Amino acid sequence: MREALELILLKVSQKPDIDKGDLAKASRLIIKSVCEGLEITRAGIWLYNDSQSHIQCRLLIDKGNDLEDESLALSRDDFPHYFSALDSERTIAANDAMTHPATFEFADVYLAPLHINSMLDVPIRHRGKMIGIICCEHQGPAREWTPDELVFAATLADLYGRAISANERALYEAKLIEANQTLENNVKARTAELQAALSTLEQAQEKLVESEKMAALGNLVAGIAHEVNTPLGIALTSVSNCRDELTSIYRDFENETLTEQGFKDFKHICMEGLNLAESSLNRAANLIQDFKRTSADQTSLEVEKFALDDYIPRICNPLKPMLKKEHIELSIDVTPDLNIVTCPGIIAQLLTNLISNAQRHAFNASCTNQRNHVNVVCKRCDKGILISVSDNGKGIPASLHKKVFEPFYTTARDEGGTGLGLNIFYNLVTQKLKGEIELVSSPDEGTTISVIIPADQ
């Protein structure tokens, strides 16, 4: 090959525009180099459509007329001989373009008006497939294309194929960066939510410790872990799998083996994984929100003075149908004219909690009592007002007396119990009502839970 052509090829191959991914700059560099090396003023890049029924001009430079065009297109139906020659995927060297079997169809509509007498079309290949041509057009007397010129033009066509690969890599990299950024943002958002929830949980833990009645901090953490670890484990596995998929697809991208289907599969897997992680984190957040209720800091009821002998029956009577269904009798004994200044909503909640807890846990098939009974008593005492709920059920062993007030402790987890009922009750009494709790119970002797609260709050 002539030294001048070799120098042009060397210069072009060393240009960063070829491998930067900017296909527009690479295209202009290659076409200008074609014109320089072949000493022509008109050349262009033409690419097939998907069905190869048309070939579209992506860049046409006409130095003689100071023109750049990207609007031309040729149809297989209009120029069958030309497309048949292109189908051979070989270089078309039309020294006399007016009569050459591949280009004579252009004589009247294209060649003669533009004074083009010689054409050189070299295939552009990408990943082993012909995707278009570089068309070199000589304006002036017919010329014979030399072997050096054929090799020169073909080499530039290969460099264009390299530029396409660089462009694809840049696009894939941009998509990967976007996907990675989206994944990171989602993880950060979910992590922030979890950290906020954990912060709330820590505050609730501090209040439990300050109450002096909840010394089992280790059991508390174990209970939380038991309930929250499962969804967190699922979320962690999902995010880890998405990270592995990202690593795999980036490896394919670097090795230039990444396919469109592979990228679609990656998107599908990551979307499923992120959806699973999101639902699991939401589940964990909901569990933590439930636990947050144990601090009872969300109860914002107004304080008022009301009569307990009127209020307590109104709260307990609606529960009688529920108890009757379980063959449990409910009796209410309240001292007449017993008034209190406090939050009536809290009194209602603690009574409902204790009666529901007795209905759920106090009686089972092992109980020998012929009549299941729950008794509510309210009366004045030295420290204020005493409210107690007692049953004649199976009782609670002494070893569990403190444990029943701990969060997440339950003997009915298989039946959907969360273990938060008595813990919520405990915090309502100790933190909101500033009261005291007493538990009296033994196996087969029933259970009595008593609450002593100040009469004026």
pLDDT for 417: 52
Q: Is the pLDDT of residue 96 over 90?
A: yes
**Residue 154 shares a structural domain with residue 12:** yes
pLDDT for 367: 52
* Listed residues 165, 195, 224: the one ending a domain: 165
Could you count the other beta carbons within 10 Å of the beta carbon of residue 58? Answer: 17
Q: What is the number of domains present in the chain?
A: 3
pLDDT for 298: 37
Cα angle for residues 441, 443, 445 (degrees, 5° grid): 65
Residue 307's nearest CA partner among 333, 349, 336, 347 is 336
pLDDT for 154: 94
Could you count the other beta carbons within 10 Å of the beta carbon of residue 255? Answer: 8
Q: Is the pLDDT of residue 209 over 50?
A: no
pLDDT for 217: 36
Q: Is the pLDDT of residue 219 over 60?
A: no
Least confident of 25-34, 116-125, 295-304, 442-451: 295-304
User: What is the C-alpha separation between 119 and 139, in angstroms, rounded?
Assistant: 9
**Residue 388 shares a structural domain with residue 319:** yes
**Residue 264 shares a structural domain with residue 376:** no
**Residue 288 shares a structural domain with residue 310:** no
CATH of the domain at 34: 3.30.450.40
* Listed residues 237, 269, 295: the one ending a domain: 295
**Residue 66 shares a structural domain with residue 137:** yes
Q: Is the pLDDT of residue 397 over 70?
A: yes
- Using pLDDT thresholds of 50, 70 and 90, give the confidence band for residue 414: low
For residue range 37-91, what is the model confidence (pLDDT) as tens digits?
A: 999 999 999 999 999 999 999 999 988 766 676 678 999 999 999 999 999 999 9
Q: Is the pLDDT of residue 287 over 70?
A: no
**Residue 137 shares a structural domain with residue 187:** no
**Residue 219 shares a structural domain with residue 361:** no
Q: Is the pLDDT of residue 290 over 50?
A: no
Give percent of the chain with pLDDT exceeding 90. 35
pLDDT for 121: 96
- Using pLDDT thresholds of 50, 70 and 90, give the confidence band for residue 223: very low
Mean pLDDT of the chain: 83
Predicted model pTM: 0.44
**Residue 42 shares a structural domain with residue 10:** yes
**Residue 259 shares a structural domain with residue 200:** yes
DSSP states of 50-113 as a string? TTSSEEEEEEEEEGGGTEEE---EEETTT-HHHHHHHHTTS-EEESSTTT-TTTGGGIIIIIHH
* Listed residues 295, 318, 343: the one ending a domain: 295
- Provide the domain limits for residue 358: 304-453
Mean pLDDT of the 200-218 span: 52
**Residue 109 shares a structural domain with residue 29:** yes
Q: Is the pLDDT of residue 386 over 70?
A: yes
CATH of the domain at 366: 3.30.565.10
**Residue 152 shares a structural domain with residue 174:** no
**Residue 123 shares a structural domain with residue 161:** yes
